Amino acid sequence: MSAPTAARPVDAERTGRRVEEVLDRLAGSDPAAAAAAEELVRSLMDFYGAGLARTLHLLADAPGDPSARLLGDELVASLLVLHDLHPEDRDTRIARALDSVREHALDVVEFDEESGALTLRAREAGGCGCGSGAGAREAARAALACFAPEVTDVEVQTAPAGPALLQIGTGPAPTGTR
């Protein structure tokens, strides 16, 4: 028996895209193979979902509260969401995702359940009148993919600029005085 190897880091968003790509390739070739592949994926999802549900049930009976560590783990949290087992509601998961990209200072404006669109507002950073930067939308999207996949589109509005800062300097000395 060989020694166990360290687990490779798994990115939930990348894995989801990869599964979709493979299923799309199969759908483009043999319809029977595509149907079989989809059935296989569904069966595995059911199996792993049941295992995760059992794990959560067993952990709920354990002393202490291990859920905080589980929910803080991106991979575990995304598996729980994928299997509709995440104990936190959508708004809490959205807040958790945005908290993970704290450097962008984003506030929720509204979520459209029908379209899956989330509108965010970038708070001013450091009082300089500049928003959170161009990367805010992509950072929010990546975090939300793991914690709140029901968010399918993200729009970031910039906060209205505050009053302009005035530079007050010393003026010229009055004439005629010495």
Three-state SS at 148: coil
Amino acid identity, residue 160?
Answer: P
pLDDT of 42-77, one tens digit each? 898 888 888 888 887 777 777 777 777 777 777 788
Most confident of 1-5, 45-49, 58-62, 133-137: 45-49
Amino acid identity, residue 63?
Answer: P
Least trusted range by pLDDT, from 80-94, 135-149, 150-164: 150-164
Contact 107, 136 (CB under 8 A): no
Query: Rounded CA gap, 48 and 75, in Å?
Result: 14
Backbone phi, psi, residue 66, to 5°: -75, -5
Three-state SS at 14: helix
> For residues 64-91, b (16+ Cβ closer than 10 Å) or e, as one string?
eeebeebbeebebbbbbbbbeebebeee
